[in-house]
A and B are shown apart, each in its own frame.
Chain A
Amino acid sequence: MTDAPVRDGSGRWPSALPDDPGFDLSGLTLAERILSVKAGRRVRAGEVVVVPVDQVMMVDSIAPSALRIVEEELGGVLQYPERVSVVVDHVAPASNVRVATTQKRLREVAREKGLRLFDVGRGICHQVLMEEGLARPGWVVVGSDSHSTTYGAVCAFGTGMGATDIALAMVAGRTWFRVPETVRVRLTGDRPTGVAAKDVALEIVRRLTADGATYASIEILGAGAFGAGERMTLANLAVEAGAKVGMVAPDDALREHYHVPVWLEVDETASVTGTLEIDLSALGPVLSVPFQVDNVHPVAEHVGVHVDQVFVGTCTNGRLEDLHEVADVVRGRSVADGTRLLVIPASGRVLADALADGTIATLVAAGASIGVPGCGPCMGRHMGVLAPGEVCVSTSNRNFMGRMGSPEAEIYLASPAVAAASAIAGAVALPDARGGRAVRR
């Protein structure tokens, strides 16, 4: 285990990227700027570049394959083991002897090779890397999980890859990219009370559609009023529009916590392949209806649909502010008979904070079950798998057929507040004036 990264004297995460790249970056998008600086030359969308990787992340379900490729096909030597993180989150804790045996071996290899290991209960990979400062503005972060776009919340070039690419990135210390075109999303207007970052993210996916940003970088402008966790929600769901990366434009709020290289800023003269303007003031709470994420509709259209299980958690919406939203709705009330409420904090730190401020007590008093920080039932492996015919309202990111278990189950994706209201009602519901925030539609 290598030394943990540290913040600088001002309490900010340093960058390690040069402030002066030594060449002109004007007229380039965020993605082009990052890949240009990493490649050491000015590159444009469509070019193929090979660039150094600042952080490689892999999870328990993929790491065994990636490490086997490293050993059997690539000679076993990692270029920068200190830049590799292993997170045990996808089946954590182990659900059976097979998984336990695989994870035991994974821990051994991680120690042997000097990788950073975040074990059971530390949390979901993306949440953990952000908490640990292992994704920073301008960094190239590749993860063995498609929601690695989450790192774009701090304007890192974060993207998901398969086991072979992850193995190569570990061994070579670099990887190849086709420099992506950019789709610019501009958020305008004031966000009404009751409209969550999740609603905004789903609106982006609805407008772009599930393949509307395929191969592209999404640049998100106008998110200044969104908190750090909310920005993670926005960047997280960029992949559901097919994007390679989803980057929130750097601003002063980001600079409070990170050193942001001076060249890492939006250039509105850069050429993009599409622009999308979203008037926040016109939005309301929405659901993503089975079985596609871009199948987004107002919650009001589905109010009353019986719900067997409500799941609050995941890399999309398992953070402290999400748990606060849920607590505000369920405080003093009870989960409906015939409905289960599972709450799985995104990380051990989130759990500790939610315990300390009383949120967990509020949730438990309302009848919620609290799970071990990790991915939970999001991909249908354990801790809340669905039976045929069951309906789940989930704060997660995918409602694909069979995603959480039976292909005959249905998953509605929603914000934490809508999920909480649905748990209380036992059916799809909007938070009312009594619980949580009033909803203005």
Chain B
Amino acid sequence: MSATNRVWRFGDAVNTDDILPGKYAPLMVGEEVFQRYALAHLRPEFAAEVAPGDVLVGGRNWGLGSSREYAPQALERLGIGAIVARSFARIHYRNLLNLGIPAFAAPELVDVLEDGDRVRLEIERGRIVRLRERGEEALGLPPVPAFLQEVLSEGSVLAFYQRHGRFPGEDGSPTAPAD
């Protein structure tokens, strides 16, 4: 049996200042250590106690606010396995996918996953398995849109561009600028 992880549950409208406050940006505290301040205002113990592969569960509009990529990057450094939320804010969602952090808009999972649940993340099989006293419970993950699946298949948008010399969904020929 593979390792299990814990669910960290948050509420609605967790914003980028919650995920990584501006005063703890890499520019302010250093490139090596900023992840220690992830979600520091909401749950001060989070960064110290989170384990690689853990799953974050949020409500509506996860990640609203800033374009700061160091917010999802802090979560990447901490090894977050996936984020499941009712919905995501646009820029943050794009940042998550660019970094290769699986993000699922899945209200039906948010309804049932509880803080402290033990789960086994099986993204390739399209599911999260929750471990309960009486056995396992498989919860389906929604499919990732094809375009974004292309990104995730290479690990990150940078890896995709490095490998293909183009963006996902783009035909082989670079688009010429209008001017």
Contact = CB atoms under 8 A, between A and B. Distances in A.
Contacts of B99: 164
A371 interface: no
A161 B94 contact: yes
A381 B27 CA distance: 10
A176 B169 contact: yes
By secondary structure, the A interface counts as loop
Given A52-B175, A380-B23, A381-B23, A161 B17 contact: no
Contact of B90 (A60, A144, A214, A400): A214
Nearest to A40: B175
Interface string B76-108: 000000000001111100110011000000000
Given A37-B178, A211-B87, A403 B13 contact: no
Interface stretch (A62-70, A226-234, A266-274): A62-70
Nearest to B97: A164
B27 A64 contact: yes
B17 A401 contact: yes
A119 interface: no
Interface residues of A, number: 66
Interface bin, chain B:
35 or more
A215 B90 contact: yes
Contacts of A380: 17, 21-23
Interface in B2-49: 13, 15, 17-18, 21-23, 25-28, 30, 41
Interface in B116-166: 147, 156-158, 161-162, 166
Contacts, number: 166
Contact of A211 (B27, B60, B94, B175): B60
Contact of B28 (A17, A64, A91, A243): A91
Given A61-B27, A164-B157, A400-B65, A48 B13 contact: no
A172 B170 CA distance: 12
Interface string A72-97: 01100000100000000011000100
A61 B175 CA distance: 30
Interface of A: 16-18, 37-40, 48, 50-52, 54, 60-62, 64-65, 69, 73-74, 80, 90-91, 95, 98-99, 102, 143-146, 148, 159-165, 167-168, 172-176, 178, 210-211, 214-215, 242-244, 292, 379-381, 385, 398, 400-403, 405, 407
